[in-house]
Structure 1
């Protein structure tokens, strides 16, 4: 099974007021951390989806070494960014399954990504989604049979719609730290007290 991974990094961080993709935590910016953890994992193909101010965000990683795509319609919401990444992987890598992750969940690491892959194999389910704060969400891995559903999402609809619609085919992976994302300065302040 060939595993692809999409890092969503297209947003404008409007609530934070500065690009969270470039926020440094313990000397590494978030987009670089997401890429490094992916490279350390069993994932075989990776794409970073950019949108808002791509030239600025590209300063956070090595764009000549890491595949990336620019979603010109990033303002339409999460769906179009995910689809831009998924179409790139389908055309260039032909993956059997794809992991979707955000660049602002700082506790996502290579062991978690590997766990998504292994739990999908062990459970026989088509989707493995992380469970936190009484919800199911990303990072999540989707079997190829769900690519069409993912490509038909609209606007602000995220992968959660595909997860909920196919809940009988979902394995929930407990990941309480998935609730930590960085949307505001208060989120950043809280994070300083965590050990990454």
Structure 2
């Protein structure tokens, strides 16, 4: 899990989980630096990278499992596969990138994620239609989070 903004508030919630915590000192320069920090910390023999955004709390485990299953199946025939969920033709998150894109992601200068890689590699893009709009719903403030989760 890559942390940056308010890392000291987030880390206690991760302390007892079986995850590696990576601090991104460049978090203020944009989301891409956090993605790059996570990729640099990943095992060298990984098959792919699932980019999960922390501001999307309604995505359920079944959604992640569905996307991983699709990725595992598609990578058998396409070593450069990208898996992206869609709800009613609207692309969402999380997106899974084959490890094929590691160097391209690490070289990104675009600050708001990996969208340029998705656009450039559309022939490798495998979209998975899902029946949940949670893949589109984010909360960027505490008030938005409360409204989203009903607290």
Whether TM-score is above 0.5 comes out as: yes
CA contact 2:58–2:149 (8 Å) conserved in 1: no
Partner of 1:121: 72
Matching of residue 149 in structure 1 with residue 128 in structure 2: no
Query: Any gaps of 5 or more consecutive residues in structure 2?
Result: none
Q: Runs in 1 of length 4+ with deviation above 4 angstroms?
A: none
Matches within 5 A, 1:37-48: 48=1
Shift in CA distance, 142/64, structure 1 to aligned 2, threshold 3 Å: closer
Matching of residue 60 in structure 1 with residue 41 in structure 2: no
Partner of 2:2: 49
Matching of residue 99 in structure 1 with residue 57 in structure 2: no
1:189 to 143, 147, 150: 147
Separation in 1 of the partners of 2:86 and 2:99?
Answer: 21
Query: Any gaps of 5 or more consecutive residues in structure 1?
Result: 1-47
CA contact 1:76–1:155 (8 Å) conserved in 2: no
Superposed CA RMSD in Å reads 2.3
Separation in 2 of the partners of 1:178 and 1:144?
Answer: 22
Separation in 1 of the partners of 2:146 and 2:95?
Answer: 24
SS at the partner of 2:42?
helix
- What is the aligned residue count? 144
Q: Which moved more, 1:160-169 or 1:126-135?
A: 126-135
| TM-score, normalised by the number of residues in structure 1 | 0.65
Q: Which moved more, 1:61-70 or 1:105-114?
A: 61-70
Higher strand share: 1
Deviation at 1:192, TM superposition (A): 1.2
